[in-house]
Chain A
Amino acid sequence: MNVETLSRIQFAITISFHFVFPPMSIGLGVMLVILQTLRLKTDKPLYLDLARFWTKIFGLIFAIGVATGIPMEFQFGTNWAHYARFVGDIFGSPLAIEGIYAFFLESGFLALLLFGWNKIGPRMHLFATCMVALGAHFSAIWIVVANSWMQTPSGYHLARMVKVVEDGKQFPMTADLGTVPYTVKEIPLPAGYIVQPADMGHVRAVVDDIHAAILNPSTIDRLCHTILACWIIGSFVVVGISAWWLLRGRFVEAARASLKIGIIVATISCLLQMVAADSTARGVARHQPTKLAAMEGLVQSQKEAPLGIIGWARWERDANGNIIGVKDTTLHIPGMLSILVSGDFLHPGLASQTEVTGLAQLPSDELLRARHPDLSDADLAKIRPRYWPNVPVLFQTYHLMIGIGVLLTAVSLLGCWFLKTGQLWKADSKPLRVFLWVLVFCPLLAQIATQAGWFTAELGRQPWIVYEVLKTGEAASAVVKAPQVLRSMVLFFIVYVLLTILFVSLLTNKIRHGPSTSGAGDKAPETWRPLSVRGASETKG
């Protein structure tokens, strides 16, 4: 395997593993803010116990998130040096801003959150909780900004470095001018210039409009989509653990309180997610048509394009094994994709006449011709599949995400209904036990959906690292050799397996011990006692 493939696998391993944790801490952060607010409002010791318990879980998740996050900050340099040089002018800023505004905020106030129970009062503790949650959200914002720029780059132009000699003549950087003195100048390239492999090292993206680069066409959609996914994961972690306690008949009071808050947050997030997901998909249709066509396995451009529900897409190959198209076997809703792309749900008849471009026309002839100026039209059609993402995999990850998303929405709505009718607490009724068991597995399902969604976003961008500007193959480090990446990749894998085992065993241990019921007793922190037990200070005084 070459360096590019290995680096991609390594990045996939490290980012997927890392991405298990931050969504949980973002979602749990919101839950902690709710719990601490309720505690201040109601003075119920139960909420203090819950806040302390979920803070411990939060701390464990956060620690692994930090440990696995450090490699992410540096891998752009270690494995993707060409990429770093090419986009540094734009892509470095959000990472630095994330460090200055998100990480410091999070990690600073996390100390107060975890270790401050005896040092600061409850109001200050709530403030610290809010700051940690805010920091976690800031972090999500800047990472999604950076990633969205890779999906829909804007606010930049390409520039080429040239050598300029004394009389103003320009030479390419590769020219050997001998002893003639020269200066290096950067000249802008025309809009729509397609980077060629030979340009690497001399051409880079230069920022024109920072706000346009940050608020690029996909930022807002993808940000809402991602943050809601985090809330869904966080709330379902709370719901799943609480449901398990209820099934075991342990910590019943705490479980009920957690489950109630969890179900409500999960339902709100799931419903909002439908809107955000729809908007994100429409954004993909508008700005990354190749990705959309690949997600649905759509080859021919058509009106009344169908929306796949379940099934599979396979490559269609010629006698030499070259990809020439896609065969799909799916259960689908006719015309639904066209309706979704148009976004006009009130006039489905009209909306279904929207034409959706298929892979046979994507990427555009102009782009292919600009990248391969010396090829004939027939040859261009032949190399087109090289510019397609991995359709069979993408089809599955995309539909897996949607399927689980719909399932989780249904589960949360059902949970709300059980909650409203008061049936949720009947842990001895058979159907309720089945429902609680479903809830126990919901955190896992939510994780799978989020991972599948992220894979869809990233695989759908391939073979580009910056969509339709820079190919992934041209972005890897030139000086790093395959055995080096192989070594580090294997090590990452082993270390992460080890971390997973430790995490799961510690988490189950914490869940088994549950929240302590110290809030009402003597173990409550000194400064909290007057608040946690109403009137306690008076009786003591």
Chain B
Amino acid sequence: MDLNTIWFGLVGVLLTGYAILDGFDLGTGPLLLCTREDRDRRIFLNAIGPIWNGNEVWLVTGGGALFAAFPNVYATVFSGFYDAFMLLLFALIFRAAGIEFRGKRPEAGWRRTWDVAFAASSLASSLLIGVAIGNIVWGIPLNDRHEMQGDFLTLLRPYPLLVGVTSVALMVMHANLYLIIKTEGTLQQQLKRWTRRTVPAYLVCFVALNVITLLTCPHLQTVLHHRRWLLGGLAIAAFLITFSIPRQVRSGYEGRAFISSCLSIVTMMLLFAATVYPNLVISRPDLDNSLNIYNGSSTEKSLNFMFYVAMIGVPLVLTYTVSIYYVFRGKVVLTEESY
């Protein structure tokens, strides 16, 4: 395996880590508005309280790693999706402000306002991230300098929007399963009832997305020709894992259901990676202008150096991520320091 492929994998690991970890943070946003009690909302927020910040770092580091390993891709995607990324940035700022400021004052109006801000920005973030991924799978118009031709509306095509909606449904379900683990009593019962809607909603999106991708995605047929077994295997795995979630929820194995939800994200990301590899940004209609892991990358020297940096750093990161999750395991208890 060459360094470029390894870095394709490493950036993928960072973005998958982000999707799994910040996924339930983002999904908590819309769910927050589904309960009325201030105490319940506080429990939701404190379920992600100590960790949301660290989870968001996966995105920032993913961005940094993309810049270091594939600067051309970083430049093309971020300048091409300018308005979308600016919206995402504002949404991320408002999420941080929402969770941070909400608990600082007791007034109901103050708290409601921040709850709405938190929910709306979480929803917008997960939608925009999905739309961005959808555009990359579908292909965007690039010129021979790899610059995107088009504007915000170019991005809002039906297929990317479908991916966006699927991403919202996935994150809401993911958060629902996560919150069941972190709560107890009547609130937990309530959350369990919600899964009757959130899980099927995602299953519908999941099936729709996979079928529509298979039938309509422009260059999938050629990829399918070369990687029949890989893509088929991944699709079957994704299908089995995703459809085990409702069964596990019904039998009361919430922990397993949450793990299945994480694995479902992993398989979706693997499918995404297997579909685009070795491309990173597919150009459509002019396929020759696509950015792949070779023409979009840094030099071998740089990739090599950063490879060692990552090999030392990533185990450290995993160690303290696991330790922090271990310290904050168990049900949420509201204390003086809570949000």
Contact = CB atoms under 8 A, between A and B. Distances in A.
A84 interface: yes
A345 interface: no
B302 A67 contact: no
A138 to B, nearest CB: 11
B299 A100 contact: no
Interface in A486-541: 487-488, 491, 495, 499, 502, 506, 509, 523
Interface string A79-90: 101101101111
Interface stretch (A40-48, A114-122, A224-232, A374-382): A114-122
A343 interface: no
B80 interface: yes
11 contacts: A63-B53, A82-B75, A84-B71, A96-B61, A111-B327, A120-B327, A208-B301, A210-B302, A487-B86, A499-B97, A506-B101
A193 interface: no
Interface string B289-313: 0000001001101100110011001
B327 A119 contact: yes
B85 interface: yes
A21 B36 CA distance: 34
Nearest to B101: A502
B90 interface: yes
Nearest to B149: A479
A116 B337 CA distance: 9
A191 B320 CA distance: 45
A108 B321 contact: yes
A99 B57 contact: yes
B106 to A, nearest CB: 12
A88 B72 contact: yes
Interface stretch (B62-70, B218-226, B233-241, B267-275): B62-70
Given A103-B61, A108-B320, A201 B145 contact: yes
Interface in B245-299: 295, 298-299
A104 B320 contact: yes
B146 to A, nearest CB: 8
A70 B89 contact: yes
B317 A96 contact: no
Interface in A99-146: 99-101, 103-105, 107-112, 114-120
B93 A85 contact: no
Contacts of B320: 104-105, 108-109
Contacts of B89: 70-71, 74
Interface string A144-180: 0000000000000000000000000000000000000
Given A107-B53, A112-B324, A88 B74 contact: yes
A480 B82 contact: yes
Nearest to A506: B104
Contact of B60 (A68, A73, A502, A509): A73
A212 interface: no
A133 to B, nearest CB: 15
A82 B72 CA distance: 9
B63 A484 contact: no
Contact of B54 (A73, A91, A111): A111
Given A77-B79, A99-B60, A108-B54, A89 B71 contact: yes
B53 A78 contact: no
Contacts of A81: 75-76, 78-79, 147
B328 A115 contact: yes
Kindly list the 10 A-B residue pairs having the minimum CB-CB distance in the complex, ordered from nearest. A88-B71, A77-B78, A99-B61, A92-B68, A92-B67, A111-B50, A67-B96, A81-B79, A100-B313, A477-B79
Contacts of A79: 79
Contacts of A95: 64, 67-68
B207 interface: no
Contacts of A68: 93
A76 interface: yes
Contacts of B309: 93, 96-97, 100
B100 interface: yes
B49 A115 contact: yes
B54 A107 contact: yes
B201 interface: no
A477 B80 CA distance: 9
Interface residues of B, number: 69
A184 interface: yes
Given A66-B96, A77-B75, 12 more contacts: A66-B53, A69-B60, A70-B59, A77-B78, A77-B85, A88-B75, A93-B68, A93-B302, A99-B62, A100-B314, A110-B54, A206-B301
Given A63-B100, A114-B337, A115-B50, A96 B64 contact: yes
A78 B81 CA distance: 8
Interface of B: 49-51, 53-54, 56-57, 59-72, 74-80, 82-83, 85-86, 89-90, 92-94, 96-97, 100-101, 104, 145, 147-149, 295, 298-299, 301-302, 305-306, 309-310, 313-314, 316-317, 320-321, 323-324, 327-328, 335-338
A90 B298 CA distance: 8
Nearest to B100: A63
A478 interface: yes
A277 to B, nearest CB: 30
A98 interface: yes
A207 interface: yes
A116 B61 contact: no
Q: Interface residues of A: mostly helix, strand, loop or mixed?
A: helix
Contacts of A252: none
Nearest to A88: B71
A60 interface: yes
A67 B93 contact: yes
A101 B50 CA distance: 19
A106 to B, nearest CB: 8
B79 A78 contact: yes
A103 B62 CA distance: 12
Given A79-B79, A100-B309, A111 B324 contact: yes
A112 B244 CA distance: 35
B82 A78 contact: yes
A116 B327 contact: yes
Nearest to B294: A184
Given A70-B92, A78-B79, A78-B85, A99 B64 contact: yes
A495 B93 contact: yes
A307 to B, nearest CB: 40
Contact of B67 (A67, A88, A112): A88
B75 A85 contact: yes
A517 to B, nearest CB: 14
Contacts of A207: 298-299, 301-302, 305
A162 to B, nearest CB: 14
Contacts of A107: 53-54, 56-57
Contacts of A87: 71
A73 B64 contact: yes
Contacts of A116: 327
Given A67-B96, A70-B60, A104-B54, A77 B302 contact: no
A90 B67 contact: no
B61 A104 contact: yes
A79 B86 CA distance: 11
A525 to B, nearest CB: 9
Contacts of B62: 99
